[in-house]
Structure 1
Amino acid sequence: MSVQPLELDQIVMQSDGFLASNMNDEKVMMSVESGKYYNLGSIGGRIWELIESPTSVRQVVTSLREEYEIDQDACERQVLSFLQTMLTEKLIRTGT
């Protein structure tokens, strides 16, 4: 089953069933169902925190740009790519 590409105005949120913890300034997670581990890194961990409640991809980009010095286009591309990977891995889900 293929996953539709994310867009900036889509709402994303954390999927249920993951335990997350901080380890050496990086966010690590484990799937309760599969036992698979994920290391989101520090920026990925920040994105994970930002989508704790449903939010648009665009708002994630805006929040990151307020916290880090990064070009708008580069931030959009990197966030979309990261979230797309998370969606493919079923770490996140989309909503309305």
Structure 2
Amino acid sequence: MMDILSQRLTPSPDAFATAMGSETVLLQVKSGIYYGLDEVGTRIWTGLQAGLKPSEICEKIAGEFDIPVATIEADARAFLEELKAHEIIIAE
């Protein structure tokens, strides 16, 4: 199976986002599931909307926050797998 960080992911057409300051609230319409994203989750979401691969987003975040990229990647994998499982993001 392909690593989720190397996949091209996009927000589902059934997912809606609302920015609230540096955070974002997501709603998956079909299931009614809400997610609250913190600042880093919001940066990942924004990067996906811009068409970036998750691996590219992780590198940017690691550089901005001076955190090892492996740490960001581990957290991003878990986050993205959860969003994908709930059909908030889909693979292209």
TM-score of the superposition, structure 1-length normalised? 0.79
Q: Which has the larger displacement, 8-17 or 82-91? A: 8-17
Q: What amino acid sits opposite 1:32 in the alignment?
A: V
- In structure 2, the partner of 1:29 is 26
Q: Percent identity?
A: 25
What is the aligned residue count?
92
Structure-2 separation of matches of 1:21 and 1:91? 14
Task: State the secondary structure of the residue aligned to 1:51.
Answer: helix
Q: What amino acid sits opposite 1:81 in the alignment?
A: A
- In structure 1, the partner of 2:63 is 66
Q: Which has the larger displacement, 85-94 or 46-55? A: 46-55
Kindly indicate whether residue 43 of structure 2 is the aligned counterpart of residue 46 of structure 1: yes
Q: Which has the larger displacement, 63-72 or 74-83? A: 63-72
1:80 deviation in Å?
1.1
Q: Give 5+ residue unaligned stretches, structure 1.
A: none
Structure-2 separation of matches of 1:84 and 1:65? 19
Structure-2 separation of matches of 1:5 and 1:78? 17
- Cα–Cα, structure 1 residues 81 and 48, in superposed 2: closer, same or farther, change >3 Å? same
1:5 deviation in Å?
6.6
Equivalent of 2:77, from 77, 80, 84? 80
Q: Give 5+ residue unaligned stretches, structure 2.
A: none
